Amino acid sequence: MSGWRKKSLDYNPLLYEFVNDDGITIRVRKGTKGNLNTDILVTITDSRINDLEEKNIKHIYWAVDVLMKKEHNKELMNQFLRVFVNSWNSLDTFKSNNKDDIEKWIQDHLNNIDLSEYEQLNSYGFLSIKALHQILMLLSGNEKSAREDAFMFKTIITRISENDADIYDVIAWADNNQADIKWSNKR
């Protein structure tokens, strides 16, 4: 599959696993780059298409899913993204990437939003709104834990929700090619 980094994940200890009703399993593994005390790796397995190979989630993956959902229901997806951006500022960093700290962080941060009003977005894109929310929260926590002055993730989501970027900008940002997001452009 294009866009997936294929490598053995055997050396990345499993910290937490979500088995969602929609057939998507999200795993949180100990990371191997950045701050080795807090870095995590988010992976996915999809039983809906008989693809049981565990793959790294890249930012481009969720960004394309968000754009697909937004194409079909712009107002509702923008509302979801605005709620997410509002919660981003108060999101705690990971204390560490040990199993107990990650489990506590997940319990504290992934059950704080009622997603039922967004479930109609499940008909579009690849990820359910629940899986998308879990991935966005985990990747945000990871980014904020890596750098105190992190802004990229929030900026991308804000710009998508404000229609302040075209699809090429969003894909470049999500693919970590920062495009024109500079410190002076952060929001």
Task: Name the percent of the chain in helix, strand, coil, to the closest 5.
Answer: 50, 15, 40
- 150-174 in b/e form (b: 16+ CB < 10 A) is bbbbbbbbbbbbeeebeeebbbbbb
Q: Could you read off the pLDDT tens digit of each residue along the chain, which spans 187 residues?
A: 344 444 555 567 888 888 888 888 888 888 877 666 677 788 887 777 666 677 777 777 888 899 899 989 999 999 999 988 888 888 888 888 889 999 999 999 887 778 999 999 999 998 999 999 999 999 888 888 887 787 777 888 888 888 766 777 777 776 665 544 444 445 5
Are 59 and 113 contacting, i.e. CB atoms less than 8 angstroms apart?
no
Maximum Cα–Cα distance for the chain, whole Å?
Answer: 45
Are 54 and 4 contacting, i.e. CB atoms less than 8 angstroms apart?
no
DSSP 123: G
The first and second tokens of residue 119, run together, are 């479930």
| Burial bucket for residue 135 (CB in 10 Å: 0-12, 13-18, 19+) | buried
Dihedral pair phi/psi, residue 44, rounded to 5°: -140, 145
Q: Model-level pTM?
A: 0.82
